[in-house]
Structure 1
Amino acid sequence: MTKNFVFIVSGGRTGTNFFGTTLGQVITDCFSVHEPDALVDPRKFGWKKTISQFQTFGVRHMIIDRVLKKSGIRNLAQQFLNGDYNDDNSILIQNIRAHREKYHASISESLIVESYFQWFGLLPVLRSVYPQAKVVGVIRDPRTWVQSRINYRGQHDKSDWIKLLGQSRLTPAMVNDHEYANEWNSMTVFQKLCWDWKITYELIESFAKADPLCSLYKFEDLFESGSTKERLDLFKFITEHGHKTYKYDLEADVFSTRHNTSKGNSNIWQNWSDEDIAFLKNLCGPIMEKHGYGLEPQWIERSNQSSSPMQIAV
């Protein structure tokens, strides 16, 4: 059976859990999944998902090879961005297929939607494995994204599940970002998250510009504006694959249920220090302004009055 694929990528905290949980319920002949083989913190997601992952992918893939950096989309992406593969990426392509072919073959539905933000690091080689796959990029205002990450915890802080497993997160050194590589260890959680947003959406935007099967959507349009235009466009994009179009039942309130939300006020940049505002604008400004973020008079005034944007807190 011919299968069609959709990969949903982002910086996380953009409704990826929602997409993985919901799309398979509203699109016919569709299997949707959120981070199928990401080893997540069972304290947040429960042991049921972890046990299911072990049953599907095996302990070797989930634990042993991940620790050895032989498995896991995160590890493959970091190795690729670090330039660890040969020029034609043949070994990397083989590794990606080894991660997914058996798993995808076990799924009975013909449309497979994988919502896993770590694919953003493998977008340049995605076409070598999935030539006709649709790619959905979801971008979020970096100000609320950074605050949501901080509220949710677990990235660059003491409760970082990835580091507790002996894994690593993407760093400036891996992508030859010399401007921040030497300062990385002394940067604050806030500053590191700003860098995460910048590098993630630089990679997604670069891919989207050159690839007609990739479409970029704003998180706010899908989940906060209340308008159905962008939502309908998203479902149309996801469900049309050549001569085959999948039917869907988009109820008015399908986007009203939020999954995996963080706690706390996610819109408190008004209370940030001048240094934090300047730092975020310096790193994220070009992309955020292109998408209509940061145009409020108060933000413009604060960011223009802030101290040196290159200041690194130590």
Structure 2
Amino acid sequence: MVNYLNSVNFTIIVSTGRTGTEFLAHALPQIYPSIHAEHEPYPDGFVLGTQYHRENYSNERVIEQYLKMRKPVLERLEQSNKTIYVESNNNLVMFLPALIEFFPRLKVIHVERSPLSYIRSAISNVQQSRYTLFSDTDPRARLNAKDFPDDPEFHTWEEFSQFEKLCWHWKKYNQLIESSIKQPLNYLKISHQKLFETDTLNEFNKFSKFIDPTLATSSDKILSCFSNPRNQVKEYSIGSFEDWGTTKIRAFERIIGPIKDYL
């Protein structure tokens, strides 16, 4: 299976979450029939990612488990005769170094969203009608500052509010992605704002040409797909950063940096 994935065009889309990765996995095959795309296929890799960090799984062990998890997907891909596989999955961030080591032709697309809008979206996105990310009712034992002994927030994590935890998550996941990249030519960072708000056609064309330079389609088809977003927050539980107040702004700037850098 390692050899098979190295023989096809293998691209992953990673981010902090709340960046349109589910939409992209559904839109790509509609726009380009030559692409087989999956969004967080089951098992989604969350447990494997935490084992990589908390149980010191080796890269070899991680890849062995990853290939077992993806066997049904790869069998469908092989039977379809499609040569492009795109996995849009934020959980892959946790073991990205292993993927890069074993799949040297792997292409990594990093969708980055401004933390100002990401935090507002994440804290308002109710999952399974019962929890939001890093809330008290979040059932998943997510990576946190206690998993990284050299993390600046290692000793203060237990005191963090949900807002502070989301600030940390945004910074840490983007750091994990960027620190894992060893081949810049196989890495592309895409702006969430440009892709979904201000420059859709140009940003999506850059995105698709990175996957495969031969991909081509009409602008109308692209814009038609983007007119039907998925998994959007319909009602925000907190206001935009202008309404956050001093406590939240100070927390944001302590963990991430000056707000002015993201305006």
| TM tier relative to shorter chain | 0.7 to 0.9
Q: Which residue of 196, 219, 233 maps to 1:262? A: 233
CA distance in 2, matches of 1:33, 1:249: 23
- Asked if 1:25 is matched to 2:30, the reply is yes
Which residue identity lines up with residue 74 of structure 1 in the other structure? Answer: F
Question: Hey, what does 2:253 align to over in structure 1?
Answer: 281
Question: Hey, what does 1:297 align to over in structure 2?
Answer: none
Shift in Å, 1:141: 0.6
Deviations 1:78-128 (A, max 9, x none): 222336124xx2222212222223421222122111111111111111123
Question: Hey, what does 1:293 align to over in structure 2?
Answer: 262
Which residue identity lines up with residue 262 of structure 2 in the other structure? Answer: Y
Decide which moves more: 264-273 or 197-206.
264-273
CA distance in 2, matches of 1:135, 1:97: 18
- Asked if 1:37 is matched to 2:42, the reply is yes
Question: Hey, what does 2:98 align to over in structure 1?
Answer: 125
Taking structure 1 as reference, are residues 248 and 37 closer, same or farther at Cα in structure 2, changes over 3 Å only? farther
Question: Hey, what does 2:63 align to over in structure 1?
Answer: 93
CA distance in 2, matches of 1:206, 1:275: 30
% identical equivalent positions:
29
CA distance in 1, matches of 2:229, 2:18: 11
Which residue identity lines up with residue 241 of structure 2 in the other structure? Answer: W
What secondary structure is seen at the aligned counterpart in 1 of 2:224? coil
Q: Which residue of 135, 139, 150 maps to 1:157? A: 135
Which residue identity lines up with residue 65 of structure 2 in the other structure? Answer: N
Taking structure 1 as reference, are residues 169 and 134 closer, same or farther at Cα in structure 2, changes over 3 Å only? same
Runs of 4+ in structure 1 over 4 Å off: none
The runs of 5 or more residues in structure 2 that have no matched partner are: 127-131
Taking structure 1 as reference, are residues 141 and 95 closer, same or farther at Cα in structure 2, changes over 3 Å only? same
What secondary structure is seen at the aligned counterpart in 1 of 2:87? strand
The runs of 5 or more residues in structure 1 that have no matched partner are: 39-71, 295-314
Taking structure 1 as reference, are residues 178 and 219 closer, same or farther at Cα in structure 2, changes over 3 Å only? closer
Kindly indicate whether the alpha-carbon contact (under 8 Å) linking 1:14 and 1:138 is maintained by their aligned counterparts in 2.
yes
Q: Which residue of 21, 43, 49 maps to 1:77? A: 49
- After TM superposition, the score normalised by the length of structure 1 is 0.72
Q: Which residue of 177, 181, 194 maps to 2:167? A: 194
Kindly indicate whether the alpha-carbon contact (under 8 Å) linking 2:148 and 2:154 is maintained by their aligned counterparts in 1.
no
What secondary structure is seen at the aligned counterpart in 2 of 1:118? helix
Count of residues in Structure 1 that have an aligned counterpart in Structure 2: 247
Kindly indicate whether the alpha-carbon contact (under 8 Å) linking 1:140 and 1:218 is maintained by their aligned counterparts in 2.
yes
CA distance in 1, matches of 2:147, 2:103: 25
Taking structure 1 as reference, are residues 208 and 228 closer, same or farther at Cα in structure 2, changes over 3 Å only? farther
- Asked if 1:216 is matched to 2:185, the reply is no
Kindly indicate whether the alpha-carbon contact (under 8 Å) linking 1:32 and 1:113 is maintained by their aligned counterparts in 2.
yes
Q: Please give the root-mean-square deviation of Cα atoms over the aligned residues, in Å.
A: 2.3
What secondary structure is seen at the aligned counterpart in 1 of 2:198? coil
Shift in Å, 1:198: 0.8
What secondary structure is seen at the aligned counterpart in 1 of 2:152? helix
Deviations 1:144-184 (A, max 9, x none): 10010111132122442xx1xxx411111112245323332
Question: Hey, what does 2:129 align to over in structure 1?
Answer: none
- After TM superposition, the score normalised by the length of structure 2 is 0.84
What secondary structure is seen at the aligned counterpart in 1 of 2:230? coil
CA distance in 2, matches of 1:239, 1:146: 32
Which residue identity lines up with residue 254 of structure 1 in the other structure? Answer: C
Deviations 1:47-90 (A, max 9, x none): xxxxxxxxxxxxxxxxxxxxxxxxx511222222336124xx22
Taking structure 1 as reference, are residues 274 and 209 closer, same or farther at Cα in structure 2, changes over 3 Å only? farther
CA distance in 1, matches of 2:46, 2:74: 19
CA distance in 1, matches of 2:134, 2:177: 22
